Amino acid sequence: MKVLVTGGAGFIGSHVVDLYLENGYRVVVLDDLTTGRISNLNPAATFYKVDIRSPQVSEIFEKEKPDYVNHHAAQVDVRRSVAEPHFDAEVNILGSLNLIECAKRFHVKRFIYISSGGAAYGEPVYLPCDEDHPVNPICQYGASKHTVEHYLYMYQVNYGLNYTVLRYPNVYGPRQDPNGEAGVVAIFTGKMLNHEQVIINGDGNQVRDFVHVRDCARANILVTQREDVNGIYNLGANHGTSINEVFHILKRITGYQQEVVHGPAKLGETYRIYLDASKAGRDFGWEPSFSLEEGLKDVVSYFRAAEMKQ
């Protein structure tokens, strides 16, 4: 079986590629390397440097004839989505539609789409958010990611394209870029190991659920292996952790000596959210295996060995 993974040179996508290969799948990677890294690419995968909006995507589908599509590529910067909503929609909606059309045309068995649990739900009405929670995003990124879910439903009803949506929580782990628009775990770890000032946007009482990247990658394998897993699924820790708590755990692990400084909150950022992933547990046996403490120790070890040498 062959899987086409978009964003397969990125932080999360590269872990998904590795796990597919370990499980005997042939893998084709599409990545324009805007945020992905060549160093993340598994050499056993076939690689095309291409934008998901490109007409070349159709040629790749025709040549490679994938059985499955795993769509991780996206514009993921919330602040850029607010500042450049047209660009965000072009990549996340039109780029995804390009892939969906190709999947329909070339008879793909299943389209696995990575959506956002943290950004799509908006400010929660109740916690933890399950899949029936109202979807009211408060940033353009959340709106663009959710829009594609409607296209997938439509293409299943009208054309028989099977799909699975995985709504991710805050994902952290090895290969996450500590610079620029990254998750707080990577940013904090990079700053702490370089003895630089850590700044928390807002008061630090924002709550998220944090799931290790290898746990998220495992969910992708599980849904690919099952023919009966259709529709939308949350991934999450089923409980929340504040940004202040993450700071203090990492401070202890790294031996960081400085105190935190607080900056202005981000526009469009949900204040408090965590997801109910019990449906994923019932339908395909997924639950997180890393505790937050174990996962953060893994990140610090990786950064000390890899990122701090660059």
Task: Tell me if 120 sits within 8 A of 142, measured CB to CB.
Answer: yes
Gap between the Cα atoms of 26 and 4, Å rounded: 9
Residue pointed to by tokens 């799509």: 120
Catalytic residues: 141
3-class SS string, the chain: CEEEEECCCCHHHHHHHHHHHHCCCEEEEECCCCCCCHHHCCCCCEEECCCCCCCHHHHHHHHHCCCEEEECCCCCCHHHHHHCHHHHHHHHHHHHHHHHHHHHHCCCCEEEEEEEHHHHCCCCCCCCECCCCCCCCCCHHHHHHHHHHHHHHHHHHHHCCCEEEEEECEEECCCCCCCCCCCHHHHHHHHHHCCCCCEEECCCCCEECEEEHHHHHHHHHHHHHCCCCCEEEECCCCCCEEHHHHHHHHHHHHCCCCCCEEECCCCCCCCECCECCHHHHHHHCCCCCCCHHHHHHHHHHHHHHCHHHC
Residue pointed to by tokens 């909006």: 53
Strand 231-234: give its sheet, edge to edge: 46-48, 26-30, 2-6, 68-71, 110-116, 163-168, 231-234
